[in-house]
Structure 1
Amino acid sequence: MTIEQKAAAILLDDEEVMLGPREIENPLANNLGLGVLVGMWVAPARLLNDPDYQRWVPTMGGLPIHVLDSETLFPPVSTEI
């Protein structure tokens, strides 16, 4: 998603269910053959089959669906304290 598409999607959030989009930050994502992905936003895969997330389908249903490994999209989580 673009930042504008992400902004429109999170308008559907409420106190119980939130979409939780994340910005793609790992430069390795640009090597997936899908163009430049760093700086774009993604929705969690649960959007595809979780009934609680069906309210986002009309807003996001026309966007491309790519199921991608989170380790390729986001930097590793630091375990340092």
Structure 2
Amino acid sequence: MDELNGRILGLQILLTGVIARLAGEERDPVGFLTSFRDEIRAVTNGIRITGATDERVVRATALHAIDELFSLMKPPSQD
């Protein structure tokens, strides 16, 4: 389990770096980050999660992870 957690953490760091790099190349980096984060949250809210006993817990965990990835770049929107 520790190896899996380490790999997930590594993927989160890599993804955060890629997003930050893309944002740095935009004219409006904060606008890019806000738009990108909102799109990812919308997708997460709209997908069907099967195989879990409680879909809400899985979705809440995923949304928390998304907010965590973007928290160092910009605070989450209040929607």
- TM-score bracket, normalised by the shorter chain, equals under 0.3
Which one has a larger percent strand, Structure 1 or Structure 2? Answer: 1
So what's the TM-score if we normalise by structure 1?
A: 0.25
TM-score (norm: length of structure 2): 0.26
